[in-house]
Amino acid sequence: MTHHGTIVLRSGTHIPLTYELTPPAADGLCHGKLLGELEQIDPAFSPDRLKLVCADGLTVDLLITHYTTRGATFVGTIVQNGAHAELLIGGGSSAECTA
């Protein structure tokens, strides 16, 4: 299931996109996919942490693990809870869950 959010680059640039996010593991890490036209994200800066701001207020610090101009995969940590964070944090389900 996909949802809408915004990537915030270190420069302050906001890039609207679609994402998929899985529930965090016991250590607090989550992973997912960024979907859309990602030309504004320079692959040379992919080691830098980015911020994903979800439409419901959930915020995820993420690190891109694989990048193309049409999408990327990432690992991340939830840094601010949104309206659906309880599904991610307390869900306990192995099924994919999105914020």
Residue with tokens 């899985």: 22
- pTM beyond 0.85, yes or no: no
pLDDT of the chain, 99 residues: tens digit per residue: 789 999 888 778 888 999 999 887 777 789 999 998 788 776 665 556 788 998 888 889 988 888 887 889 999 988 866 554 444 444 433 333 333
- In degrees and rounded to multiples of 5, residue 32 shows phi and psi of 180, -165
Q: 60: exposed, middle or buried (C-beta count within 10 Å: 0-12, 13-18, 19+)?
A: buried
User: In Å, what is the CA distance from 90 to each residue of 5, 36, 45, 55?
Assistant: 22, 29, 33, 20
The confidence score (pLDDT) of residue 97 equals: 36
